[in-house]
C-alpha cells in the first residue's frame, strides 16, 4: 500500500505543470554554411574531332553540357535547357545514380561539391584539365582530372578524393567518372563470356532505370564481363560505319562497375569505376584516394571509328612498348602440357626454328621438386626448377633456342599457390582465407593475398628469380587462373573491405617494380586465357593471351569482340592441332592460319605430329605474315560484317598512309555452286590509289583477279567476288599501292 502511494506521488510530480522544472534539451543551431559565388565559366575539353563541354553555375555547381563532335564554342550557344551533373554525388538533390558517396565521422551521409578552381595544361599531345571541388560543410575535396589525347580523340578522366579533416571518412562509392549522353534510343554493345568463351558480343537496348556491367571476381575482369562498352546513340541497329557511338573502357583489372542510368529526361548517365561491392574504403586524415582512369571516345561514324580511336591511343600511349612488333612463337602448352623432358623441348625448339618462328615459350610444368608440378594439383608456389624433367637447366634450353636463332620465354603464375606445396605450409597467413571457413579451391589452387606487402615482395621475387635462371630469357607469360572466393586477408585485420582495391593496387605496384628492373622483357598477360584483358594491366604488359580457346571458328568471334576495344597487336593468336582440344572442331590448317594471322601469330601444338606438307605450308604462312605483320600491329582495322550475323566475315588492316593493306576473309557456311559468289567490299583504302592485290597463304587461289591492280575506289565500291563455296574457305590478300 505504501509503495502504491509513493508511485502515485511520483507520477503527479512528473505531470504537474511547473513541477520539478527540467532542463530543456539543447537544440543545436542549424547554421547554413554559405557557398561563395563564383564567376560562371565554360570548360571545353577538346580533342581534334571531339568535345566534352562542361560549365560551372554561379553557385559553383559543375555541369555537363555535351559530349560529341567538336563545335565552335565561341560564342557559346546552349540550345538545351537542361544541364546534367558532371559528377553526381550523394547529397543535395536525390539522383538516380551517384559517382561518389561518403560517410563522415559523425555519421553524416551528405556531400555537396562546388568548383573552387579550374586549370588547363598542354603537354605532348595531351591537354589536362583539372577541376577542383569542395564541400563547404564537410570540407571534403575532390579533383576531377580530364586528359584529352588530342590526336586520338580519347579522353581519360578520373577523380581524386582528399580527406583534409582530422578523422577518417569512409568512401562507400568512389567512381572514376560520369558522363551524360542525350538521345531517344540507345543500343549497348557489351562483352560477356566465360572460360574459353571470352568477349562474346551482347547487344541490348538500354532500358529505363539502371543497367550495369560489372565484375566481382577480385583478380579478374574479362571472363564474365569486360570493363568496356560501345553505346550507339539514337540507333536500334549496330553499325560499323555510321551513327554516333560513345565507347568507354576502364583502366582497372579488378572489381568494377559501369552503370547506364536511363531516365525519361531523354538521356543516359554513365557512371564508371571500381565496384563498391564489399569495398567500403577508409580514407584517413590528409589522405587522397586516386581512382583508375575511365577512357572515353566518341565517333560520329559508327563503331569502327570508335575502335580505331582506342586502338591508336592504346598503341601510342598505353600498351607497354606499344607500337612494336612482338615475335611469332611456339608455346609448349597444348603440344606437351605437363609431360616433357629436355629432349621433347629441344625437339620443339628445332621445329619452331625450322618453320621460321622466332620464340619458344616453355609453359606450365617446369618447376617444384617436393610437390612436382606434373598436373595442376601441386607445386604452385614452389618456383624451383624440376631437375627430373630438365636436369640441364633453363639456361641450357634458352641457349639451345638462341643457337637455333630463336628467343626463349617461360611461364609463371606467381599470385597463386597449390595447397600441396611448401609455400602453403610455410605461409598459411599469405593465403586469401576467411577465419573458420574452408578455403575454397578452384583449379586446385588458392589465391595469395596481394594486399600484403610481404606477398608483393614474394611475387616480385618469383619473377626476379625466374629471370635469374638464365640471362637469355626474353619473354615471360604471367598467368592468373582463378578468382577470389570467400575473401579474407590476415594482413588487413578489421579493414577487410579494402581487400579488392588493395589487391589490384598491390599487383600494379609489383609489375611497376618489375618494369623498372626489366624494362625490355616481353611480358604476356594471361589469366586462364583472356580473363584479365583491360587497359589497367596493359600499362605493364606487352600483349595478352586472348583465350584458351584456340579453335579457329569460335576464335573468330572472340577476336571480333576483343577488337571492338583492344588493338590486334595485343591478341595472342595461335594455330593448334585438330580436333581442337577445347571444342573438338576440325578446321583446315589454312583456315587456322588465316584466323591466327590477324593477331600476334603463334603455334601451340606438337610439330612432330604435323605432316611434312603441313610444315611446309606453315613455313609459308609464317614467312608471308612477316611481310605484312606491321600492318596487323600498327595499321587501322576495318571490320567487314559481323561473325555473329553474317556468314562471310572480313578484316582489313591499313597502314596510316594507306599505301599498304592486308585483307582477310572467312566463309562460315556452305554455299551451293548455284549461288553467286559472295562479294566483299573493302574499306579504309585510299580511293585514288591503285593497289596490287596479291593472295597469300594459298593452297589454291580464291579469287580470279589475283595479282591484278585495282583502284581503291573500285575495291571499296564494287568489291571482290570470292570463290567461297564451303564452310572454312578463307583467303588473305596483301595490297600495295604503286
Ligand atoms: C592457363 C593458360 O591460359 C594456358 O595457356 C596455360 O598456360 C595453362 N594455364 C597452364 O596451366
If DSSP codes are grouped into helix, strand and coil, which group holds residue 140?
Answer: coil
Cβ-based neighbours of 145, under 8 Å, separated by 6 or more: 128, 129, 130, 131, 157, 158, 159, 160
Residue where the block lists cell 547529397:
91
Cα Rg, the chain, nearest whole Å: 30
Share of the chain above pLDDT 90, in %: 91
- pLDDT tens, 682-706? 999 999 999 999 999 988 899 999 9
Residues near ligand 1 with C-beta < 6 Å? 333, 363-364, 411, 479, 481, 526, 528-529, 545, 548
Q: Say what the pLDDT of residue 675 is.
A: 84
Q: How many CB atoms neighbour CB 630 within 10 A?
A: 17
Under 8 Å between Cβ of 86 and 62 = yes
If DSSP codes are grouped into helix, strand and coil, which group holds residue 566?
Answer: coil
- pLDDT tens, 481-519? 999 999 999 999 999 999 999 999 999 999 999 999 999
CA-nearest residue for atom 2, ligand 1, is 528
Residue 20 pLDDT level (bands cut at 50, 70, 90)? low
- As a whole number, mean pLDDT of residues 380-394 equals 98
Nearest CA to 590 out of 730, 695, 494, 476 is that of: 730
Q: What is the mean pLDDT of the chain?
A: 95
The partner residues of 260 in beta bridges, in order of sequence, read 211, 270
DSSP for 15-48? Answer: HSTTTT-PPPPPPPP-PPPPPPP---EEEEEE-S
CA-nearest residue for atom 10, ligand 1, is 364
85, 97, 269, 548: the active-site residue: 548
Nearest CA to 83 out of 159, 186, 182 is that of: 182
Q: Tell me the CA–centroid distance for residue 533 and ligand 1, in Å.
A: 15
> Among the atoms of ligand 1, which is closest to the Cα of residue 376?
11
Residue 21 pLDDT level (bands cut at 50, 70, 90)? low
Q: Tell me the CA–centroid distance for residue 497 and ligand 1, in Å.
A: 30
> Could you say which DSSP state residue 455 is in?
H
User: Could you check whether the bond before residue 579 is cis, i.e. omega within 30 degrees of 0?
Assistant: yes
Q: Is the pLDDT of residue 631 over 70?
A: yes
In angstroms, the CA 254 to CA 112 distance is 29
From 548, 571, 574, mutation site for ligand 1 pocket: most ligand atoms within 8 A of C-beta:
548
Q: Tell me the CA–centroid distance for residue 293 and ligand 1, in Å.
A: 29
Q: Is 387 exposed, middle or buried (0-12, 13-18, 19+ CB in 10 A)?
A: exposed
> Among the atoms of ligand 1, which is closest to the Cα of residue 333?
6
Q: Is the pLDDT of residue 138 over 50?
A: yes
Q: Is the pLDDT of residue 28 over 90?
A: no
Q: Say what the pLDDT of residue 79 is.
A: 64
Cβ-based neighbours of 505, under 8 Å, separated by 6 or more: none
What is the phi/psi pair of residue 203, to 5°?
-120, 125
Q: Is the pLDDT of residue 93 over 70?
A: yes
What does pTM read for this prediction? 0.95
Domains in the chain: ranges and CATH: 41-318 (2.70.98.60), 329-545 (3.20.20.70), 640-737 (2.60.40.1180)
Q: Tell me the CA–centroid distance for residue 290 and ligand 1, in Å.
A: 33
Cβ-based neighbours of 186, under 8 Å, separated by 6 or more: 205, 206, 231, 232, 233, 234, 235, 260, 262, 268
Question: In what helix (H) or strand (E) does residue 305 lie, and over which residues does it extend?
Answer: helix 302-313
What is the phi/psi pair of residue 518, to 5°?
-125, 70
244, 351, 449, 479: the active-site residue: 479
> Among the atoms of ligand 1, which is closest to the Cα of residue 527?
3
In angstroms, the CA 301 to CA 317 distance is 23
- As a whole number, mean pLDDT of residues 561-589 equals 98
Q: Tell me the CA–centroid distance for residue 526 and ligand 1, in Å.
A: 8
Q: Say what the pLDDT of residue 77 is.
A: 66
Q: Say what the pLDDT of residue 152 is.
A: 98
Cβ-based neighbours of 138, under 8 Å, separated by 6 or more: 102, 104, 108, 110, 111, 165, 169
> Could you say which DSSP state residue 191 is in?
E
User: How would you label 673-689 residue by residue, b for 16+ Cβ within 10 Å and e otherwise?
Assistant: eeeebbebebbbbbeeb
- pLDDT tens, 46-86? 999 999 999 999 999 999 999 999 998 766 666 666 789 99
CA-nearest residue for atom 11, ligand 1, is 364
Residue 636: active-site member: no
CA-nearest residue for atom 1, ligand 1, is 528
- As a whole number, mean pLDDT of residues 430-457 equals 97
From 223, 335, 479, mutation site for ligand 1 pocket: most ligand atoms within 8 A of C-beta:
479
Pairing mode of beta strands 329-331, 600-604? parallel
Q: Is the pLDDT of residue 13 over 50?
A: no
Residue 457: active-site member: no
The partner residues of 161 in beta bridges, in order of sequence, read 142, 289
> Among the atoms of ligand 1, which is closest to the Cα of residue 477?
7
- As a whole number, mean pLDDT of residues 310-318 equals 98
In angstroms, the CA 358 to CA 687 distance is 36
SS3 of 320-381? CCCCCCCCCEEECHHHHCCCCCHHHHHHHHHHHHHHCCCEEEECCCCECCCCCCCCCCCCCC
Amino acid at each position: 500500500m505504501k509503495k502504491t502511494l509513493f508511485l502515485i506521488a511520483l507520477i503527479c510530480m512528473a505531470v504537474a505543470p511547473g513541477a520539478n522544472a527540467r532542463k530543456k534539451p539543447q537544440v543545436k543551431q542549424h547554421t547554413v554554411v554559405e557557398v561563395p559565388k563564383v564567376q560562371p565559366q565554360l570548360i571545353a575539353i577538346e580533342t581534334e574531332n571531339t568535345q566534352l563541354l562542361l560549365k560551372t553555375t554561379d553557385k559553383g555547381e559543375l555541369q555537363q553540357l555535351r559530349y560529341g563532335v567538336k563545335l565552335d564554342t565561341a560564342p557559346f550557344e546552349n540550345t538545351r535547357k537542361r544541364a546534367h551533373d558532371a559528377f553526381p554525388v550523394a547529397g543535395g538533390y536525390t539522383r538516380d545514380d551517384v559517382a561518389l558517396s561518403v560517410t563522415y565521422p559523425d555519421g553524416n551521409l551528405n556531400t555537396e561539391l562546388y568548383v573552387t578552381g579550374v586549370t588547363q595544361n598542354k603537354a605532348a599531345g595531351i591537354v589536362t584539365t583539372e577541376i577542383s571541388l569542395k564541400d563547404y560543410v564537410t570540407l571534403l575535396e575532390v579533383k576531377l582530372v580530364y586528359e584529352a589525347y588530342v590526336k586520338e580523340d580519347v579522353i581519360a578522366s578520373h577523380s581524386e578524393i582528399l580527406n583534409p579533416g582530422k578523422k577518417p571518412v569512409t568512401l562507400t562509392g568512389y567512381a572514376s567518372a560520369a558522363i551524360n549522353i542525350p538521345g531517344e534510343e540507345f543500343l549497348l554493345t557489351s562483352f560477356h563470356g566465360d572460360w574459353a568463351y571470352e568477349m562474346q558480343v551482347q547487344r541490348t537496348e538500354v532500358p529505363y532505370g539502371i543497367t550495369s556491367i560489372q565484375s566481382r571476381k577480385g583478380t579478374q575482369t574479362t571472363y564474365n564481363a569486360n570493363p568496356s562498352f560501345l553505346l550507339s546513340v539514337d540507333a536500334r541497329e549496330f553499325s560499323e560505319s555510321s551513327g554516333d557511338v560513345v565507347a568507354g573502357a576502364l583502366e582497372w583489372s579488378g572489381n568494377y562497375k559501369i552503370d547506364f542510368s536511363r531516365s525519361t529526361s531523354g538521356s543516359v548517365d554513365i557512371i564508371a569505376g571500381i565496384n563498391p561491392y564489399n569495398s567500403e574504403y577508409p580514407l584517413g586524415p590528409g589522405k587522397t584516394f586516386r581512382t583508375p582512369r575511365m577512357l572515353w571516345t566518341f565517333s560520329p561514324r559508327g563503331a569502327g571509328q570508335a575502335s580505331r580511336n582506342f586502338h591508336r591511343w592504346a598503341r601510342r600511349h598505353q600498351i607497354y612498348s606499344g607500337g612494336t612488333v612482338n615475335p611469332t612463337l611456339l608455346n609448349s602448352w597444348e603440344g606437351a602440357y605437363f609431360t616433357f623432358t629436355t629432349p621433347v623441348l629441344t625437339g620443339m625448339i628445332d621445329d619452331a626454328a625450322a618453320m621460321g618462328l622466332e620464340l619458344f615459350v616453355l609453359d606450365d610444368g617446369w618447376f617444384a621438386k617436393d610437390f612436382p608440378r606434373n598436373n595442376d594439383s601441386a607445386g604452385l608456389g614452389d618456383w624451383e626448377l624440376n631437375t627430373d624433367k630438365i636436369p640441364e637447366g633453363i639456361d641450357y634450353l634458352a641457349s639451345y633456342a638462341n643457337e637455333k636463332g630463336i628467343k626463349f620465354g617461360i611461364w609463371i603464375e606467381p599470385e597463386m599457390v597449390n595447397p600441396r606445396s611448401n609455400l602453403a605450409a610455410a605461409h598459411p597467413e599469405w593465403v586469401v582465407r576467411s577465419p573458420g571457413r574452408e578455403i575454397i579451391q578452384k583449379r586446385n589452387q588458392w589465391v595469395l593475398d596481394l594486399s600484403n606487402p610481404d606477398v608483393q615482395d614474394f611475387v616480385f621475387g618469383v619473377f626476379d628469380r625466374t629471370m635469374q635462371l638464365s640471362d637469355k630469357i626474353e619473354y615471360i607469360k604471367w598467368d592468373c587462373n582463378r578468382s577470389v572466393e570467400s575473401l579474407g586477408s590476415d594482413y588487413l585485420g578489421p579493414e577487410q573491405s579494402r581487400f579488392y582495391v588493395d589487391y589490384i593496387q598491390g599487383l600494379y605496384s609489383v609489375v611497376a617494380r618489375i618494369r623498372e628492373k626489366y624494362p625490355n622483357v616481353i611480358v604476356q598477360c594471361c589469366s586462364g586465357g583472356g580473363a584479365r584483358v583491360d587497359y589497367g594491366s596493359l600499362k605493364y604488359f606487352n600483349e595478352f593471351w586472348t583465350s584458351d580457346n584456340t579453335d579457329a571458328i569460335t576464335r573468330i568471334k572472340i577476336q571480333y569482340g576483343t577488337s571492338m576495344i583492344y588493338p590486334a597487336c595485343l591478341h595472342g593468336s595461335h594455330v593448334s592441332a585438330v580436333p581442337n582440344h577445347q571444342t573438338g572442331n576440325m578446321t583446315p590448317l589454312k583456315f587456322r592460319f588465316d584466323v591466327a594471322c590477324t593477331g600476334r601469330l603463334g603455334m601451340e601444338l606438337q610439330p612432330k605430329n604435323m605432316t611434312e606438307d603441313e610444315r611446309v605450308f606453315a613455313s609459308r604462312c609464317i614467312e608471308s605474315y612477316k611481310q605484312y605483320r606491321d600492318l596487323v600491329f600498327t595499321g587501322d582495322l576495318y571490320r567487314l560484317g559481323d561473325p555473329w550475323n553474317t556468314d562471310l566475315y572480313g578484316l582489313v588492316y591499313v597502314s596510316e598512309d594507306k599505301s599498304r593493306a592486308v585483307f582477310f576473309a572467312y566463309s562460315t557456311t556452305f554455299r551451293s555452286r548455284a549461288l553467286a559468289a559472295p562479294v566483299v567490299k573493302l574499306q579504309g583504302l585510299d580511293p585514288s590509289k591503285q593497289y596490287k592485290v596479291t593472295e597469300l597463304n594459298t593452297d589454291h587461289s580464291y579469287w580470279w583477279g589475283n595479282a591484278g591492280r585495282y583502284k581503291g575506289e573500285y575495291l571499296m565500291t564494287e568489291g571482290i567476288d570470292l570463290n567461297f563455296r564451303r564452310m572454312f574457305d578463307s583467303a588473305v590478300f596483301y595490297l600495295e599501292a604503286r
